[in-house]
A and B are shown apart, each in its own frame.
Chain A
Amino acid sequence: MKLSIHLLASARSSTPGLLLIVMACVHPWLEQTMARHMGLELPALFLLGWFAAASAGNRLGRSIAPWNANGLPGLFFALSVTSFWMVPAALDAAVLHVGMATAKVASLIAAGALLRTSWSSAGLVIQAFFVLNWFWMTLAAGLVYQEAPQQLCSVYLLDQQSQAGKAMVIWAIAGLGAWLWRISPTALADDAASSPPAPPERHAI
């Protein structure tokens, strides 16, 4: 019984690594079209990082906690990384240069892991700030990709942009939806209860 729990636990912690190997094998297919690259590969790497941090327990969170009060730098990092890889020139570089490809994988996994680690220490207000910023940015970028009259990437054709843009819009809406679903009315109530009491009103002298 103990052994099977141990095996289960080790299988769980090695799953992100296995998934990364699978992704490495299929990455030429994933990067063949812009929609698969932006709509599947980038989010998958991010979710892989999130999943890795989730299965690693709270070790990472504890070790960086003093540097990551309220999850602020962690969430800021995650937002910066996700927005960076929406820049067409960055996407080109990731396909054409192996160094940038490595940086892409590493940064997105780190971003996902930091989001997972920083999430619970960030209060509802900080979470909302980052989620809503990410939402409108991704939505706007998705709309621009769909409408842009010129070829944005050197490695992807003009006619692939609209599919990639649609994928971004879908992710934006899905992300917002997931967050709204997560913050049920109870969570809102809890947050209100845990926030410090309002300062006493000052009276004019």
Chain B
Amino acid sequence: MTQDWRTWASTTLVAVLALCAFAGVTHGFNAVTSDGVRRSDIASTPRALPDIGLVDSTGQTLLLSDYGRPTGQVTFVALAYVRCQTVCLTSAAGQSWLQGEIRSRGLGARVRLLTLSFDPASDTPDVLAAHARRLDANQDLWRFATVRTTAELRAMLDLFGIVVLPDGLGGYSHNAALFMVNEDGRLSRAYDIDRPDIALADYLSRAHER
């Protein structure tokens, strides 16, 4: 009888530990991939933007926290590097589409775009400026920037949960997402990189409610 009780207790303990471990790693049974977990984590606890030193395509310096002020404007952020021939093309196309929508819907005063490069060694302001021209980016709407020093790269990648790996072909492989910094200046949403339409729809429906 005692033996039964002990085995019941240890089985229950294993069950509790297993459930806690699974809940922890899946952010409460919300996702199985790191990207999904990050999405859920950002949505439940929006992140503040730290003072990461940036330089933009015009050579002007700024801080990432400049976007963290509660200005009432929303910023859609993507992380990329200019030489990238894979997922960054998708993210550039997505932001380009968003730029068109922002213009045609007259949202220019309320929605901005920001592309952050994680390859500061190659992506100098000149390279970023040429990239912006190729994408026909409107300077007032869509800004391109990178970190001023490589020392600050880690903090930027950690904030957005981006893991960058050398792909063995001289480039990088990395996960990607379209992030939203909300009206209060907090990183509050992550969307699939190829679904800027969902990102915009989400913004519009929330703006409508406000």
Contact = CB atoms under 8 A, between A and B. Distances in A.
B21 A84 contact: yes
A70 interface: yes
Contacts of A69: 3-4, 6-7
A128 interface: no
B165 interface: yes
Interface in B120-172: 161, 163, 165, 167
B45 interface: no
A77 B11 CA distance: 8
Interface of B: 2-4, 6-7, 9-11, 13-15, 17-18, 21-22, 25-26, 31-37, 161, 163, 165, 167, 173, 175
Contacts of B167: 157
Nearest to B18: A80
Given A76-B15, A87-B32, A155 B7 contact: no
Interface stretch (A13-21, A54-62, A146-154, A193-201): A146-154
Contacts, number: 76
A139 to B, nearest CB: 17
Interface string A88-99: 111011001000
7 contacts: A66-B7, A67-B7, A77-B14, A80-B17, A84-B22, A84-B25, A89-B25
A72 interface: yes
A153 B10 contact: no
A162 interface: no
Given A67-B9, A154-B35, 16 more contacts: A66-B7, A67-B7, A67-B10, A69-B3, A70-B7, A72-B7, A73-B11, A87-B22, A87-B25, A87-B26, A89-B37, A93-B25, A150-B35, A152-B32, A153-B34, A157-B173
A89 B31 contact: yes
Interface residues of A, number: 25
A68 interface: yes
A68 B22 CA distance: 23
A157 B7 contact: no
B14 A76 contact: yes
B70 to A, nearest CB: 30
Contacts of A68: 7, 10
Contact of A154 (B10, B14, B175): B175
A6 B57 CA distance: 73
B32 A80 contact: no
A150 B90 CA distance: 14
Contact of B14 (A80, A87, A96): A80
B11 A66 contact: no
A108 to B, nearest CB: 13
Nearest to A64: B10
Contacts of B2: 66
Contact of A73 (B13, B36, B37): B13
B165 A155 contact: yes
A18 B15 CA distance: 32
Contacts of A153: 33-34
A70 B8 CA distance: 11
Contacts of A89: 25-26, 31-34, 36-37
B163 to A, nearest CB: 4
Interface string A143-168: 00000001111110100000000000
B174 to A, nearest CB: 8
Interface in A28-59: none
A88 B14 contact: no
B34 A73 contact: no
A92 B27 CA distance: 14
Contacts of B6: 66-67, 69
List 7 A-B pairs, minimum CB-CB distance, nearest first. A80-B18, A154-B163, A69-B7, A73-B10, A73-B11, A154-B34, A67-B10
Given A76-B11, A76-B14, A154-B175, A96 B4 contact: no
